[in-house]
Amino acid sequence: MLSVDEAILSRRSVRAFKPDEVSQETVADILEVAKRSPSGTNTQPWRVHVFTGAAKDRLIDTVQKVFWEDANEHSHDRLHYMETWREPYLARRRKVGWDLYGLAGIKKGEWEKTREFHSRNFRFFGAPVGILFSVDNDMGWMSWLDYGMFIQSVCIAARGRGLHTCAQAAWGTYHALLKDYLRLPDKQMIHCGMSLGFEDTQAAVNALETVREPLDEFVTFHQD
Ligand SMILES: Cc1cc2nc3c(=O)[nH]c(=O)nc-3n(C[C@H](O)[C@H](O)[C@H](O)COP(=O)(O)O)c2cc1C
């Protein structure tokens, strides 16, 4: 088991996985750990849908079909980041995008290759385990904050067991289709997915190194 710092520091979003299976017991173990995440007033807003084997294949087939038949992006349920991108967020977003596409051998303007790369989201990047997360769609921003903690806990508990993950907002694009597909209760919606498995260390895209701002850019120590 890795130390907490080791698990946090070695977590990266992995976008190519080995086919090696991850047992249901291991996934359940990770979720047992993650469920200890805090949530305001202990509301525990998370609902988790785990896909492996034939069930994962069926889900992938369904979404891939829609993805390739319908060139239009399906819409998100709500604002994901910001209405109009501005600095410094825009530069960070562009950098990670171009660094990633660069590793994937995709140049600016190569839309078909870009779309093919995007479609890998909806194959869970070849991971043996795909996870979809749902939430009651009328829950407020504090509950979404709780959800983020839960998802990070899943990532870290997975990392502690030698596994890697990629959180995927992309799956939220298909919230309407997925709601029907999973026959979710009225209020529930899928907002995010996750790939989980063993990293394919040979894959160029997994060499992506993302940067973070230094502390003095985002921390104010108030004293005296
Ligand atoms: C909530 C959330 C949603 C994300 N959605 C996607 C996604 O749909 N597809 C993808 O390839 N990466 C996705 N990412 C990964 C981010 O791009 C990544 O976390 C960020 O660039 C920092 O890189 P790192 O995770 O390797 O440290 C997502 C991450 C988070 C936390």
What is the rounded average pLDDT of the residues 203-215?
98
Residues 29-68 pLDDT 10s: 999 999 999 999 999 999 999 999 999 999 999 999 999 9
Kindly list the domain boundaries of the chain, sorted by start residue.
Answer: 4-76+122-206
Residues 126-145 pLDDT 10s: 999 999 999 999 999 999 99
Give 96 Cα–ligand 1 centroid separation in angstroms. 10
Phi, psi values for residue 44, rounded to 5°: 50, 65
Residues with a CB atom less than 6 Å from ligand 1: 12-13, 15, 96, 121, 166-170, 192, 210
Distance CA 102, CA 63 (A): 26
| Class of the CATH-defined domain 4-76+122-206 | alpha beta
- pLDDT band of residue 73 (cuts 50, 70, 90) is low
Residues 88-126 pLDDT 10s: 999 999 999 999 999 999 999 999 999 999 999 999 999
Give 25 Cα–ligand 1 centroid separation in angstroms. 26
Q: Tell me which residue has its CA closest to atom 9 in ligand 1.
A: 168
Distance CA 1, CA 158 (A): 10
Best of 13, 63, 153 for a ligand 1 pocket test (most atoms within 8 Å of beta carbon): 13
Distance CA 30, CA 28 (A): 5
Nearest alpha carbon to residue 203 among 13, 16, 20: 16
Q: Tell me which residue has its CA closest to atom 19 in ligand 1.
A: 13
Residues 140-175 pLDDT 10s: 999 999 999 999 999 999 999 999 999 999 999 999
Q: Tell me which residue has its CA closest to atom 7 in ligand 1.
A: 168
What is the rounded average pLDDT of the residues 200-224?
97
Sheet holding 47-51, edge to edge: 47-51, 129-136, 188-197, 164-168
Enumerate residues 6+ apart whose C-beta is below 8 A from 137. Answer: 77, 187, 188, 189
Give 60 Cα–ligand 1 centroid separation in angstroms. 20
Averaged pLDDT of the chain:
96
- At 70 the pLDDT is 81
Best of 10, 103, 166 for a ligand 1 pocket test (most atoms within 8 Å of beta carbon): 166
Give 73 Cα–ligand 1 centroid separation in angstroms. 19
Tell whether pTM > 0.75: yes
Give 14 Cα–ligand 1 centroid separation in angstroms. 9
CB 192 within 8 A of CB 169: yes
The alpha carbon of residue 68 and the mean position of all alpha carbons in its chain are separated, in whole angstroms, by 21
CB 14 within 8 A of CB 125: yes
Give 13 Cα–ligand 1 centroid separation in angstroms. 6
Q: The tokens of 42 are what?
A: 């202990």
Distance CA 219, CA 114 (A): 36
